[in-house]
Amino acid sequence: MLRDTNCGELRKEHAARTVRLAGWVNRRRDHGGLIFVDLRDRSGLVQVVINPQTAPDAYRVADQLRNEWVVAINGTVGVRPAGTENPRLPTGGVEVYAQQVEVLNASKTPPFAIADEAEVEESLRLRYRYLYLRRSRMLRNLTLRHEVVQYIRRFLDARGFLDVETPILTRSTPEGARDYLVPSRVNPGQFYALPQSPQQLKQLLMVAGVERYYQIARCFRDEDLRADRQPEFTQLDLEMSFVEQKDILDLIEAMYTGMIEELCPAKRVVKPFPRITYREAMDRYGSDKPDMRFGLPLTDLSAEMAETQFQVLRQALAQGGVVKGVLAPGSADYSRKQLDDLAQLARDRGARGLVTIALRGGAQSLDALTMEDVHSVAARFFALPQVKAMARRLEAKPGDLLLLVAGPREVVNASLGALRLEVGHRMGLADPSMMAWGFVTDFPLFEWNAQEKRWNAAHHPFTAPHPEDMERLESDPASMRSQAYDLVCNGNEIASGSIRIHQPELQERVFRVLGYSREDAQERFGHLLEAFSYGAPPHGGIAPGIDRTVMLLADEESLREVIAFPKTQNATDLLFGAPSTVRPEQLREVHLRVVEATPQSAKEPQSSA
């Protein structure tokens, strides 16, 4: 070994020990005589002191050092002189007195500072990913990710789960996200697809009798990116036989609570995780992935507005819609501009408009409120008792702002849900140390595809219907609930899963609703259906996103910060220059010809500097 001690581990009890360290020069402070070098390795930093009097050879080398040079240092650990300790450094009580400094490798001046945690443009971070990863925050994130995966493996291993690998080269499926395709050289004109998830494979493993399967599985989806979406991402894919929904939710809840207690004890978690239905989530939070770190529930005010003179609301109610409201605490003094922004947010989600009612003035309580205090463009349509009734339902106080939206239930929920998040964000209502986990259950089984005028599977076509709804399967698909569930945290979808259909007869009924003929089903899922005809056990599973889990635990806003080599929003890799054009002979070999190239893709692959 070129070293015998890690920089970050040194403490006072190591005093007088002779050590050999190796790492990067994080910073160098040259006092003309004494030189201080902060030496950095993965474990952390330690201050090295080079004294020209006691170590003249070391001093001559240290005089040349620059940031990010790689050096090895022989020296002695010493307790720092009184008054020179650095309490901000874990190793701040000690320093290393260098006897010998050896340059293992010099470094060019890096394109951005490693030691500073200053923001750097995303494209630079990605172009020089290996340098960005040197930053302590990124090494911390990579470490946390490792610990999460290790925790999961230990947890599931202890409960009898088998880690089984499934193919990366698989078959394109007609439903779901766009596939990444891989041409076959030995089968001209045919393509593999990279898995969007190992969904069908894990069900086959249940038929195979594996009973408890898991895999830390890479998944690929050729869809547009977001801060929380990468084209390749990692799921904990998991499936169990002979279980009910509750068994899976209990298991996942135990895994996540244990993981957080062990890895991130500073995080606050409410146990048990609330389990709410999709209907409740939509009605109360206007989202199927509610942020439950704060309250501000959407509240149905249809009853209060039943007799309203306000045509807009009246009309919405008459057409079978609802009037709902959400509270914006302490926002009664919002400017016209601020209110307009909120209204725009509502309109973006399909609302016709937003009614704002500001409760201003010096009233000490709602009872003391007068119409003088009620500021709203629609104030003349409201009687004071109506305003007070609404305010009471929303638990508003003087100084608060009421936000009302009227229309079809779905639109009202969506727009008020967005407003609720915006208000919570503006008011800083979410405790940053809080992780508000919860399960959302009873998702709809089907959703209407207006374009193709048919039903789609809301989750996937193998999701089991809710047992109580079974007799309505054909007669009223819209009302069908499923045994599908999500794990959510702080407004993010973290996991999704379901109990699966294991009887061929039920599967065929579902396929018929989806509009698949027997031949369609055979063509699309024949291999799975055949497998199910050989004694498939009742089974179900779930697939938590590893990247999103780590992102939340690491307090990061983007998945890119917890993935070693992420892609840009255009799904490109700035470090390798992928995707790229390939040589004509490579294309010929896989029987492909590019017939339509945009100017961009026609360009020569960029040579990496």
Q: Which is nearer to RNA, 391 or 458 (CB)?
A: 458
Whole-number minimum distance, CB 349 to RNA, in Å? 8
Whole-number minimum distance, CB 205 to RNA, in Å? 15
DSSP strand pairing (44-50 vs 70-79):
unpaired
Q: Which is nearer to RNA, 386 or 490 (CB)?
A: 490
Secondary structure class of 522 (helix, strand, coil): helix
Which residue's entry shows tokens 């692959």?
605
Find out whether 440 and 279 touch, Cβ atoms under 8 Å: no
Whole-number minimum distance, CB 261 to RNA, in Å? 29
Which of 348, 369, 350, 356 minimizes the C-alpha distance to 325? 356
Which of 111, 110, 125 minimizes the C-alpha distance to 567? 125
Q: Which is nearer to RNA, 225 or 254 (CB)?
A: 225
Helix (H) or strand (E) segment spanning residue 129 = helix 129-132
Q: Identify any residues that bridge with 481 across adjacent strands, giving them in sequence order.
A: 444
Whole-number minimum distance, CB 484 to RNA, in Å? 9
Q: Is residue 552 packed enough to be buried (19+ CB in 10 Å), middle (13-18) or exposed (0-12)?
A: buried
Whole-number minimum distance, CB 65 to RNA, in Å? 10
Residue type at 383 in one-letter notation: A
Sign, CA torsion 12/15/19/21 = positive
Find out whether 485 and 448 touch, Cβ atoms under 8 Å: no
Q: Which is nearer to RNA, 176 or 399 (CB)?
A: 176
Contacts of 209 (CB under 8 A, 6+ apart): 241, 537
Q: Which is nearer to RNA, 111 or 504 (CB)?
A: 111
* Beta strands in 364-491, from DSSP E residues, in sequence order: 374-375, 401-407, 434-435, 437-441, 446-449, 454-457, 484-489
List C-alpha distances in Å: 323 to 279, 290, 303, 304, 320. Answer: 17, 20, 9, 9, 10
Q: Which is nearer to RNA, 102 or 122 (CB)?
A: 122
Whole-number minimum distance, CB 486 to RNA, in Å? 12
Q: Which is nearer to RNA, 53 or 335 (CB)?
A: 53
Whole-number minimum distance, CB 86 to RNA, in Å? 3
553-554-559 Cα angle (round to 5)? 100
Whole-number minimum distance, CB 120 to RNA, in Å? 4
Whole-number minimum distance, CB 515 to RNA, in Å? 14
Whole-number minimum distance, CB 533 to RNA, in Å? 20
Q: Which is nearer to RNA, 245 or 386 (CB)?
A: 245
Secondary structure class of 399 (helix, strand, coil): coil
For 598, which DSSP code? -
Phi then psi for residue 149, to 5 deg, are: -65, -40
Sign, CA torsion 345/350/352/358 = negative
Whole-number minimum distance, CB 34 to RNA, in Å? 4
The token pair that represents 454 in the structure block: 């048919």
Contacts of 211 (CB under 8 A, 6+ apart): 160, 240, 241, 242, 537
Q: Which is nearer to RNA, 196 or 241 (CB)?
A: 196
Q: Identify any residues that bridge with 96 across adjacent strands, giving them in sequence order.
A: 48, 77
